[in-house]
Structure 1
Amino acid sequence: MITEKIKFGTDGWRAIIAKDFTVYNVARVSKGLAEWLKPKHAAPVVLVGHDCRFGGRLFAETAAGVLCANGVKVLLADGFISTPMISLGVLKLGAHQGVVITASHNPPSYNGYKLKGPHGGPSSPKDIAAVEALIPDEVDMPQQSIAYWKEKGMLETVALEDLYVEYLKEKFDFEMLNRSPFKMAYDAMYGAGQNVIRRLLPDAVLVHCEDNPGFKGQAPEPLDKNLRELATTIATTPEIKIGLATDGDADRIGLYDEDGNFVDAHNIILLLIHYLHKYKGMTGKVVIAFSVTDRVKKLCAHYGLPVEVTAIGFKYISEIMVHDDVLVGGEESGGIAVKGHIPERDGIYDGLALYELMTKTGKTLKQLCEEVYDIIGRFVYDRHDLHIENDKKEAIIKKAADGGYARFGKYGYDRVETIDGIKYHLDNGGWIMLRASGTEPLLRVYAEGNSKEETQDILADVKATILA
């Protein structure tokens, strides 16, 4: 049998269902995980769960069966779960590792396999590489049922959503939030967060909070272009003052203000720093991925908070959060963690924190953003994903790395950074970044300007230059 090498990308292994993401390949990865765990622990325990994607239960039970057959006890989540539920569960239940069957925000044809560490966040890059190196080319497929492993005491089912909801009740005053003058709308994007807001904020307006494994054909990524129904709902319902959206596995966040305007991850990171430091008096380092706005540095300088920039991938931020005192850690893609919670992205937790800020201050999201702009100035960010063949994608990145772009149309630059991707600091104070996806045939083009018109003009000039 000829088997492909399985590679973990920025956030887990992802592949197209039935093409490369198969029961057999899930078994191979699970065998590698078992082989990595057994020398480390006398009685290893792994928490396994799946989100709402097609085949989730089948793939989770496949992983569980292989782990059990190789001497690893499994705690199997009962029903679909979010990634933060697994991370919290690993920590609370004392498991040695967590497995989430999810492709996060990827298109519905994909599924994936994420690894979570005992600290309650993504496994470290070193541990992921070690598991990857142990994935065999061939694996024996166990024939025993889940019921068999339960009888043998090798598998237990756990109610992770209940554990997570009770944890949130300890962290937030829901009596206060349910009396908030600001009504919330929540879009689960047919993802794994769909039950949580329903349980905690019963008066919230719910959008796409039903099970649809194909997400109605839409990639469940909380970007403005994918959330038009939520935006319209807010714009046409005056009592709704905040819109919260989370992705397929509910670890990423998108927000809307009271006018139905999108509030992106850069602004959410800034708002969380502002809330936790100015309003709650909390301190700590701020850790951001390379693609996050430099306005974070400006806000942190104002507040006297240190900043660290990492490669893209929340696992790098989480690793720092485990060892350092971190106030906020965040990515441009909407994955944000905050002090006082687990070192994990959690769209629902972040959304509740900002809903709490609004409720306590009596200020709208728009007014709170204005407070931040008074310190750092206004800016507009956007990202275009160019779906192009891998050869073309790699050629553009190579040309950029070799200094082949002297300018982008009318926009010149004075400085280049290459922490992860290639970032050009423009003469006008904005920036451009080029970065190739590690999991899909696409090139991401990032830009920030001083207005919406300028940002769109920058993007147009960049695309015209690199695609010429």
Structure 2
Amino acid sequence: MNDRAGTPATADDLVDLDALLAAYHERVPDVSIPEQKVVFGTSGHRGSSLDTAFNDTHIAAITQAIVEYRTQQGTDGPLFIGRDTHALSAPAEQTALQVLAANGVRVLADAQDGFVPTPALSHAIIAYNRAGNTDTADGIVITPSHNPPRDGGFKYNPPHGGPADSDATSWIADRANAIIAGGNAEVRRQDATTAEGYDYLGSYVADLEHIIDIDAIKRAGVRIGADPLGGASLPYWERIRDHYGLDLTVVNPEVDPRWAFMTLDWDGKIRMDPSSASAMASVVARKDEFDVLTGNDADSDRHGIVTPDGGLMNPNHYLAVAIEYLYAHRPEWRDDAAIGKTLVSSSIIDRVAESLGRRLWEVPVGFKWFVPGLIDGSVAFGGEESAGASFLRKDGTAWTTDKDGIILALLASEIIAVTGKTPSQLYTELTERFGAPVYQRVDAAASKEQKARLSKLDGDAITADTLAGDPITAKLSKAPGNDAAVGGVKVVTDRAWFAARPSGTEDVYKIYAESFVGQEHLEQVQREAKEIVDAALGA
């Protein structure tokens, strides 16, 4: 934890926007250097122009690759495009629009040339493709999510509306790198752009009453504070307030691509993470002014929930409360609709699922795994420990297949309106029934070779048979829900678990751990987890 975590940013913390934007246009990547290649993680390609990792050359090549991929897949309809408030998002959108125009792709961009939250774009793709059109739409979201102001991000959402799977992203990344290696000679591009206007804001906000009980919130007079954290949700919260007549205050209406108003995150960087107590310090300071106070990241796919009695909720705690509430208050959902969670999310969700008589669908890290279930209604809720989730409409049909921080924030108000209790109070009640877990993620050093071995490690390579004094009941290298590789291992006992996964950006591996016994037991789990993993890696 940095000494300045949670304190206001100073001038020295701010990115030089002129240098950032100049680097976007001037620097040309060399894809023989790994750090300058196109690499799609769980949420698209991310990087900074200052590191020659997110530049005009990259975006032109990625867009050309997407054009070729969608043609190959038979995707012949419009491409929805939107950007967040990061400084690199606007020039990246312009680059993409020029390439899309030259390739003859019909593009739908925001009608007001405004910012577009990730969930609003996913919502638009789903709406178009279920409307009986003879062609098929897909989309591009330009965002690095909650990453620092120096970063940019570029993400492809295919016709299902959610994050592209690894087959698609691998093909796009490989093709883009080949194009860059050829000096972008294969990129078709023109100066003029031909995008049509689409009302993302109006379409999304007007449809919210079909997924959230807005009337209950209004009748109860819930006092809502919403902080967009300088992100794309700002005009959406303002429109939600005006359209539905809610007692809603946008507590910070400022948009600044340097994010000068933020408090620093745990590592001393500016990062718009609504689940971080350090990044949300200025928001939490106002918790007593509202019945609920919420935050979103730059592209609005994450949520933070602040209550007067509990402060900033741990994302795992809120997911558990949201799941129990929704499955009890959405009678039109299928009786067999499962509860989706990533395997590093809290196992209190497992206990809630069992009490509800619902099937738990546990998948690897990455929201893309929830997409098929959300599309066909077989999974009514999908959530990640990193404060990302989405769920079905009241009638059991798909709303978004990408994370939606706006509906998760609004759901907190519905919960208060209907139950008369805050989500924090409801979580306390869950712990009284199921126990109070202690959860933490820590990092451990690992070489690139060790990380590569960990990503392919089989559960059978774990030789230990006990963890923190308890018999090990499962050693998982594949997720129970869909048998997909987890890119690491998860070790489970009746009272605790840990999971180890390699970092995609640093020479460390991540240890997620949880104990239903207490803090000392958790620390024992963490110590033994490192010993178990190091032994399996031959460290």
TM-score, with normalisation over the residues of structure 2?
A: 0.76
Determine the C-alpha separation between the residues in 2 that align with 1:131 and 1:275.
40
Amino acid at match of 1:191: G
Determine the C-alpha separation between the residues in 1 that align with 2:115 and 2:201.
9
Aligned twin of 1:304: 357
Determine the C-alpha separation between the residues in 1 that align with 2:253 and 2:446.
33
Determine the C-alpha separation between the residues in 2 that align with 1:13 and 1:332.
21
Alignment equivalent of 1:30, drawn from 57, 60, 63: 63
Aligned twin of 1:380: 438
SS of equivalent to 2:499: strand
Q: C-alpha deviations, 1:407-446, integer Å up to 9, x for none?
A: 999666624222322222257x122222122245553221
SS of equivalent to 1:244: strand
1:41-52 to 2 correspondence within 5 Å?
41=74, 43-52=76-85
Aligned twin of 1:220: 272
Determine the C-alpha separation between the residues in 1 that align with 2:164 and 2:202.
24
Q: C-alpha deviations, 1:299-356, integer Å up to 9, x for none?
A: 2122111112111111111133224521211111111111212222101111212311
Alignment equivalent of 2:387, drawn from 334, 343, 352: 334
Determine the C-alpha separation between the residues in 2 that align with 1:251 and 1:184.
19
Aligned twin of 2:147: 106
Give yes or no for the alignment of 1:117 onto 2:151: no
Rate the CA distance shift 1:218–1:208 in 2: closer, same or farther, 3 A: farther
Amino acid at match of 1:112: G
Aligned twin of 2:513: 447
Determine the C-alpha separation between the residues in 2 that align with 1:207 and 1:411.
48
Give yes or no for the alignment of 1:431 onto 2:431: no
Amino acid at match of 2:345: V
Q: CA deviation at 1:199?
A: 2.7
Give yes or no for the alignment of 1:165 onto 2:223: no
Give yes or no for the alignment of 1:359 onto 2:359: no
Amino acid at match of 1:449: S
Q: CA deviation at 1:400?
A: 9.6
SS of equivalent to 2:501: strand
Determine the C-alpha separation between the residues in 1 that align with 2:318 and 2:201.
25
Structure 1 unaligned spans of 5+: none
Alignment equivalent of 1:3, drawn from 31, 34, 39: 31
SS of equivalent to 1:14: strand
Give yes or no for the alignment of 1:319 onto 2:372: yes
Q: CA deviation at 1:47?
A: 1.0
TM-score, with normalisation over the residues of structure 1?
A: 0.86
Q: CA deviation at 1:287?
A: 1.6
Aligned twin of 1:12: 44
Moved more, 223-232 or 23-32: 223-232
Determine the C-alpha separation between the residues in 1 that align with 2:149 and 2:434.
38
Determine the C-alpha separation between the residues in 2 that align with 1:338 and 1:67.
32
Determine the C-alpha separation between the residues in 2 that align with 1:390 and 1:223.
28
User: Is the 2:316–2:346 contact (alpha carbons within 8 Å) kept by the matching residues of 1?
Assistant: yes
User: Is the 2:222–2:247 contact (alpha carbons within 8 Å) kept by the matching residues of 1?
Assistant: no
Amino acid at match of 2:122: S
Q: CA deviation at 1:157?
A: 2.7
Give yes or no for the alignment of 1:54 onto 2:87: yes
User: Is the 2:415–2:423 contact (alpha carbons within 8 Å) kept by the matching residues of 1?
Assistant: no
1:34-433 to 2 correspondence within 5 Å?
34-41=67-74, 43-77=76-110, 78-94=113-129, 96-135=137-176, 136-137=179-180, 138=182, 139-140=184-185, 144-145=190-191, 148-150=192-194, 155-174=195-214, 176-201=216-241, 203-216=247-260, 217-221=269-273, 222-234=275-287, 237=288, 239-281=289-331, 282=333, 283=335, 284-340=337-393, 341-385=399-443, 390=448, 403=461, 414=472, 415-419=474-478, 420=486, 421-426=488-493, 429-433=495-499
Q: CA deviation at 1:82?
A: 0.9
Q: C-alpha deviations, 1:275-306, integer Å up to 9, x for none?
A: 12223334411121111122222221221111
Moved more, 308-317 or 437-446: 437-446
Paired-residue identity, %: 25
Q: CA deviation at 1:31?
A: 0.6
Determine the C-alpha separation between the residues in 2 that align with 1:196 and 1:71.
31
User: Is the 1:448–1:455 contact (alpha carbons within 8 Å) kept by the matching residues of 2?
Assistant: no
